[in-house]
């Protein structure tokens, strides 16, 4: 069972968030697609700066959990609180009502996501890929967005590719652009969804290296869906094993990955030996 916060009857709004420590709280989240319940009551608090690795068999619900934070999926029931703000609901005249697009956009501003398949804009240079959201979403002035985007691309080792288009880059380089593009928005939480699984094996290392560097810098919370167990062991503060829509085991990486209690986790980990 998960060792997370107790869910109360209290509505979770800005004024009633019950875990002040958490940057993200999932409270009794369920999600069904049609008749199939893929998340069956997830309670999960993530602390600011915490690095969480989500592992589990294919279909266990890992991607759905992080897509919800990005507002790409809506929970069937339960609450998600991000930095004290209710993600899917807002308070109006003392009542909780479904969130407006504007409210969703505001809360989403705290979250950055990197996908398995990069999702870069093919018709923009990599510098333009990074600059566009700060300018158009955050209304940052162009000179400042450009300066910060260049700094971020330099940080991921692509300072010499600013004017290249995505099609001119390797998969590993594209994934590093995707990271720079997310980071330039200064998110409080970064989500990584199997970001190395579409890459040729020889390109995996360079992408993991960049994530490791970002993780070391500290302040940002990170949630990584990953099959790279060595990597999880190395950078995560906590590993969560999701099985069939529930948190079946969680704890420090050395415990969960090297001395697990859960039988299905033991079987799952055997595949990586």
Q: Of 61-69, 119-127, 158-166, 257-265, which part binds ligand ADP (CB under 6 A)?
A: 61-69
Nearest residue to 3 via CA among 255, 187, 193:
255
In the complex, the smallest distance separating the C-beta of residue 62 from ligand ADP, rounded to whole angstroms, is 4
Q: Would you say 67 or 255 has its CB closer to ligand ADP?
A: 67
Give least dist CB 57 to ligand ADP, A.
7
Least distance to ligand ADP, CB of residue 88, Å: 17
CB of 150 to ligand ADP, least distance (A): 34
The residue from 11, 33, 92, 138 that contacts ligand ADP (CB under 6 A) is 33
Does the footprint of ligand ADP cover residue 71 (CB under 6 A)?
no
CB of 15 to ligand ADP, least distance (A): 32
CB-CB neighbours of 124 under 10 Å: 14
**Residue 121 touching ligand ADP (CB under 6 A):** no
196 forms part of the interface with ligand ADP (CB under 6 A): no
Nearest of 50, 48, 49 to residue 20 by alpha carbon? 48
Shortest Å, Cβ 75 to ligand ADP: 13
Total interface residues for ligand ADP by CB under 6 A: 10
Determine, following the binding rule CB under 6 A, whether residue 60 of this chain makes contact with ligand ADP: yes
12, 22, 24, 38: which one binds ligand ADP (CB under 6 A): 38
Contact status: 64 vs ligand ADP (CB under 6 A): yes
Among 19, 63, 196, 226, binds ligand ADP (CB under 6 A): 63
Residue 59 lies near ligand ADP (rule: CB under 6 A): yes
Shortest spacing between CB 59 and ligand ADP, in angstroms? 4
Place of tokens 């002035």: 141
Q: Which of 45, 46, 55, 56 binds ligand ADP (CB under 6 A)?
A: 56
Stretch of residues binding ligand ADP (CB under 6 A), selected from 56-64, 129-137, 151-159, 227-235: 56-64
Backbone phi, then psi, for 46, in 5-degree steps? -120, 130
What string of DSSP letters covers the chain?
A: ----PPP-SS---TTT-S-TT-SEEEEEEEEEETTEEEEEEEEEEE-TT-EEEEE--TTSSHHHHHHHHTTSS--SEEEEEETTEESSEEEETTEEEEPPHHHHHHHHTTEEEE-TT----TTS-HHHHHHHHHHHTS---HHHHHHHHHHHHHHTT-TT-TT--GGGS-HHHHHHHHHHHHHTT--SEEEEESTTTTS-HHHHHHHHHHHHHHHHH-SSEEEEE-S-HHHHHHH-SEEEEEETTEEEEEE-HHHHHHS---HHHHHHHHTT-
Which residues bind to ligand ADP, rule: CB under 6 A? Answer: 33, 38, 56, 58-64
């Amino acid at each position: 069972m998960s060792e997370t916060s107790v869910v109360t009857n209290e509505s979770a709004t800005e004024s009633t968030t019950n875990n002040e420590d958490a940057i993200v709280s999932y409270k009794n989240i369920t999600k069904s697609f049609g008749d199939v319940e893929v998340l069956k009551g997830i309670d999960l608090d993530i602390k600011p700066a915490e690095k969480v690795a989500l592992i589990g068999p294919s279909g266990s619900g890992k991607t759905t959990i992080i897509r919800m934070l990005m507002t790409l999926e809506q929970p069937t029931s339960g609450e998600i609180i991000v930095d004290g703000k209710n993600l899917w609901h807002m308070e109006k005249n003392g009542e909780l009502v479904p969130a407006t697009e504007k409210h969703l956009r505001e809360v989403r501003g705290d979250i950055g996501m990197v996908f398995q398949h990069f999702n870069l804009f093919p018709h923009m240079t990599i510098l333009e890929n990074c600059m566009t959201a700060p300018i158009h979403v955050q209304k940052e002035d162009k000179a400042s967005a450009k300066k910060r985007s260049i700094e971020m691309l330099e940080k991921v080792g692509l300072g010499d590719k600013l004017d290249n288009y995505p099609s001119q880059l390797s998969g590993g380089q594209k994934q590093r652009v995707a990271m720079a593009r997310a980071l330039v928005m200064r998110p409080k939480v970064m989500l990584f969804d199997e970001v190395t699984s579409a890459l040729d094996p020889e390109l995996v290392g360079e992408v993991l290296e960049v994530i490791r560097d970002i993780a070391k810098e500290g302040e940002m919370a990170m949630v990584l869906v990953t099959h790279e167990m060595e990597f999880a062991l190395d950078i995560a503060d906590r590993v969560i094993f999701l099985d069939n829509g529930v948190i079946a085991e969680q704890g420090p990486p050395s415990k969960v990955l090297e001395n697990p209690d859960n039988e299905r986790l033991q079987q799952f980990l055997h595949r990586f030996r």
